[in-house]
Amino acid sequence: MLTTLTIRDFVIVEHMELTFNSGFTVLTGETGAGKSILIEALALVLGGRAEAMVVRQGALRAEVSAEFDVSGLDRVTRFLEQEALAEEVGVCGVRRLIEAGGRSRGFINGTPVTVTQLRELGELLVHIHGQHQSQALGRTVAQRELIDGYASHQAMVVRVGECFHQWQKSRQLRQKLEGNAAALQAERDRLEWQVNELTPLAMDPAQWLQFNAEHSRLSHAASLIELSAQTMDQLADTELASLPQLNGVISRIKNFADFDPELKAVLAELESAQVQLQEAVYSLRHYQQKLELDPQRLRELEERLQSIHLAARKFRVDPDALAQSLAQAQGRLMELTQGGDIEALKEAEAKALELYRSQARKLSLSRTKAAREFSEKVTQAMQELAMSGGRLEVSLLPLDEPAAHGMENIEFLVSAHKALPPQPLAKVASGGELSRISLAIQTIASELAQVPTLLFDEVDAGIGGRVAEIVGQRLKSLAGRFQVMCITHLPQVAACAHQQWQVAKSVSGTALTSRVLVLTHEQRIEELARMLGGVKITQTTRRHAAEMLDSQ
């Protein structure tokens, strides 16, 4: 729950530090005293819109700080841990600074954060019900969100939205393909021609080197055959060849090596040369045996080489890059073949639509159940708010076309009296009736709230008398499970509170400031008497105020 709120240089508040208790607290005071400023300050520190105009005149910046007891609030604890913002266990501090120039900075537990992080945390800590929400309830979007929030549909709504967007994506892909069918077919034809032309010509780098080596060998086959024959003659095949002469030299040296040991070193080197020369002869003889003139094969290679260079010029790449061009053409052709099957796309679109409808039907069934329960509870609350015979009906209106939020809109139909037919909430004419219906809706919605603190900003406007007392009792009942605060002008509501604060304004020179006083029992009687009476407060009014307060 909210434990402290500190405000500096905010609108007409110079400095204010408030300590909050559990239960039901009301803020009262004359119009213009600054009661709503407290709500605005709290909304600001929890991620509300920041404007330079909130900085008190003459100040450099406004500052709002709030501290919350978050013990037992698992959702808040998880958020702080996930965002690496956890500090002291069970306590969370939030601060917002707004410069006079409009620049804003936010902090959670002393760590700078974004406005989005402040807002996400605020949604877990405080729920503010204001007069503008009564007007917003007339919109079908707000009515749908209220029912979905009441029934905890958030995960289902997200899933339906995901399925809807996947279906739309499949639909758009199919429509795009159908619209571009001619262009895509032309591209497929071009790619098929490229693949057919490049397939017999394209070679990877290793194959290209091997091809060039074979072509070069066949091109110079006659010269290579002549060279190898001459070399064999010089090395081994004639009487004056190198190898026979070397053999003779080695044989003679062996005969004299025993007479002089130094000749053995020379003999060893000659024998090593003999081995290497013999190996060269063997290799050359093997090479010579493979050499042959093959004019037919040479012509084939030269024709293919000519085709390769012609294709390389045509596709503006090097000959050894034709394989890469072929791979790119094959890959793109495969994409078009797989993604260009209209029947396959239609099947995928149909499956996506069916999945969406399956999820949307589940959401519709749950909404129907939640709408019935919500209608009954709000109708009962309306009876307690002096709207005997009044009722709320939550209508699910099927859509002509599926939508991201489901297959229906939700509309609140209300009847203030038994004899009147239900009409859309937005058409309720009486301000007092609208306030009571709105209050009934908001209190029922609050009963399932997962936040610890509920703030009601003059939601009791337009009512009075016995109805006002019922409203006060209802808010007090909510305070059994939540920390409840309410800004009110009604003494009947204020009398039901556990604590009462009086907001007042004062003028010092040209400066207007606002202050808050926590009222004692006697001061509450005096404030209730002011709220009950007019300009002059009589003893009768004070007795009435005391009786009203003591009866609670």
The tens digit of pLDDT for each residue in 374-414 reads 999 999 988 887 788 889 999 999 999 999 999 999 999 99
Residues 6+ apart with CB under 8 A from 529: 537, 541, 542, 544, 545
Q: Is the pLDDT of residue 293 over 70?
A: no
- Segment 420-439 mean pLDDT: 74
- Of 508, 456, 421, 511, whose CA–CA distance to 36 is shortest? 456
pLDDT of residue 388: 83
- Segment 192-219 mean pLDDT: 74
Instruction: Specify the range with the lowest mean pLDDT, choosing from 121-135, 206-220, 341-355, 367-381.
Output: 206-220
Q: To 5 degrees, how large is the angle CA 239–CA 244–CA 246?
A: 135
Question: Would you place residue 264 in the very low, low, confident or very high pLDDT band (cuts 50, 70, 90)?
Answer: confident
- Segment 109-138 mean pLDDT: 82
350 or 326, greater pLDDT: 350
Q: Is the pLDDT of residue 512 over 70?
A: no
pLDDT of residue 510: 55
The fold of the 1-136+449-514 domain, in CATH, is: Rossmann fold (3.40.50)
pLDDT of residue 304: 77
What is the helix (H) or strand (E) element at residue 106, kind and residue range? strand 104-108
- Segment 463-491 mean pLDDT: 86
pLDDT of residue 508: 65
Instruction: Specify the range with the lowest mean pLDDT, choosing from 56-70, 216-230, 320-334.
Output: 216-230
Can you give the residue ranges of every domain in the chain?
A: 1-136+449-514, 199-339, 520-552
Distances (CA, A) of 459 to 99, 412, 474: 32, 19, 13
Q: Is the pLDDT of residue 365 over 60?
A: yes
387 or 494, greater pLDDT: 494
- For residue 518, give both structure tokens: 């926590």
The tens digit of pLDDT for each residue in 223-235 reads 666 677 777 777 7
85 or 197, greater pLDDT: 85
Q: What percent of the chain has pLDDT over 90?
A: 28
Q: What percent of the chain has pLDDT over 70?
A: 87
Q: What is the overall mean pLDDT for the chain?
A: 83
CA–CA distance, 66 with 501 (Å, rounded to integer)? 18
The tens digit of pLDDT for each residue in 160-202 reads 999 999 999 999 888 877 776 667 677 777 888 888 887 777 7
The counts of H helices and E strands in the chain are: 19, 15
pTM (two decimals)? 0.61
